[in-house]
């Protein structure tokens, strides 16, 4: 695995809020020329076996991954676990609790939608009919399908996003706890899409300091949709905090043409690739 190999360490399947099955995702990665792909579904490892088998057939190296929801100073933070052992008993039990938190929150959000005059029970049923662990993306899609909003981003703005009418703050476990699960499962914890959190520059540095203190090992320096300027700034942060650099599209759906699988800027040379020891 050379520095110029095509690597994408952040992608979703329909085991969470992606639209493709794990096998379809891997096939798409192969077509896009990806050499190494991490399947990182939200709070579940359910797709990893299928992805590994498909990767063996398609010639794509599959990194067993997960994207775990955590909280830090009452913000939701996403931590990628890369090269995890999905059979880890502690991780499995932790992900079981995460799944339950997701189901409880989804019921609460749908109850809040009912209070707003929307058909909460039918929306909940639509989300629960999906194969994946429930996320707000599924609910946004159900709101679009029911004609309640025109587009998923409107669903977030009007109902589901922070400060919106049916927003329910999730009770995610602390960042340090999530990092500990990942390390316990033999994985490397990588902080996902660092620019996406509503934080000041100082807040972001504090987040990174706490992440490192908890045992975090990498930063997603190159993320889907972000430009070279963003990558350079994140590379500086990775160097400052002694973190390895990760690259990931956060691919969800081929219809999101602005965020394709495996088409990512190069990791700046000043950062050590998180996959180097797995070459």
| Residues binding ligand AMP (CB under 6 A) | 17, 42, 69, 135-137, 152-153, 156, 161, 252
**Scanning residues 15 to 34, which ones bind Mn ion (CB under 5 A)?**
17
* 190 binding partner (options Mn ion, ligand AMP, none; Cβ < 5 to 8 Å by kind): none
Query: Which of 17/35 has CB closer to ligand AMP?
Result: 17
**Scanning residues 58 to 77, which ones bind Mn ion (CB under 5 A)?**
67
**Scanning residues 169 to 208, which ones bind Mn ion (CB under 5 A)?**
192
Query: Residue 78, interface with Mn ion (CB under 5 A)?
Result: yes
Rounded to 10 degrees, the C-alpha dihedral 210/42/10/159 comes to -90
The helix or strand, by DSSP H or E, that contains position 26, with its residue range, turns out to be helix 22-31
Query: Which of 78/183 has CB closer to Mn ion?
Result: 78
Burial of 171 (0-12, 13-18, 19+ CB in 10 A): exposed
Query: Which of 159/212 has CB closer to ligand AMP?
Result: 159
Query: Which of 61/252 has CB closer to ligand AMP?
Result: 252
Query: Within its chain, how far is the Cα of 142 from the centroid?
Result: 21
Are 264 and 11 within 8 A, CB to CB?
Answer: no
Are 133 and 101 within 8 A, CB to CB?
Answer: no
Query: Which of 65/86 has CB closer to Mn ion?
Result: 65
How many Cβ atoms are within 10 Å of 124's Cβ, its own excluded?
A: 21
Query: Residue 250, interface with Mn ion (CB under 5 A)?
Result: yes
* 156 binding partner (options ligand AMP, Mn ion, none; Cβ < 5 to 8 Å by kind): ligand AMP
Q: DSSP H helical segments within the chain, as ranges? A: 22-31, 48-58, 89-115, 120-128, 136-145, 152-155, 175-184, 201-213, 228-241
* 28 binding partner (options ligand AMP, Mn ion, none; Cβ < 5 to 8 Å by kind): none
Nearest residue (beta carbon) to Mn ion: 78
Residues that bind Mn ion (CB under 5 A): 17, 67, 78, 192, 250
């Amino acid at each position: 695995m050379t520095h110029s190999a095509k690597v994408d360490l952040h992608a979703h399947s329909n085991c969470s809020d992606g639209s493709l099955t794990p096998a379809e995702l891997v096939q798409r990665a192969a077509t896009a020329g990806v050499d190494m792909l991490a399947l990182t579904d939200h709070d579940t490892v359910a797709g990893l076996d299928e992805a590994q088998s498909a990767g063996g057939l398609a010639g794509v190296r599959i990194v067993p991954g997960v994207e775990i929801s955590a909280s830090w100073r009452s913000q939701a933070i996403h931590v990628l676990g890369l090269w995890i052992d999905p059979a880890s008993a502690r991780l499995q039990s932790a992900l079981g609790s995460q799944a339950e938190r997701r189901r409880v929150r989804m019921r609460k959000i749908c109850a809040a939608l009912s209070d707003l005059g929307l058909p909460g029970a039918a929306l909940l049923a639509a989300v629960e009919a999906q194969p994946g662990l429930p996320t707000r993306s599924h609910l946004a899609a159900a709101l679009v399908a029911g004609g309640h909003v025109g587009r998923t981003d409107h669903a977030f703005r009007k109902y589901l996003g922070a400060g919106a009418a049916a927003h329910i703050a999730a009770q995610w476990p602390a960042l340090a706890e999530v990092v500990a699960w990942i390390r316990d499962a033999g994985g490397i914890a990588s902080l996902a899409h660092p620019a996406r959190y509503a934080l000041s520059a100082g807040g972001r540095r504090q987040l990174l300091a706490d992440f490192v203190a908890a045992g975090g090992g990498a930063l997603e320096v190159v993320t889907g949709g972000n430009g070279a300027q963003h990558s350079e700034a994140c590379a500086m942060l990775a160097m400052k905090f002694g973190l390895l650099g990760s690259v990931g599209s956060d691919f969800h759906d081929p219809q999101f043409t602005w965020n394709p699988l495996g088409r990512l800027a190069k990791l700046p040379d000043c950062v050590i690739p998180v996959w180097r020891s797995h070459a």
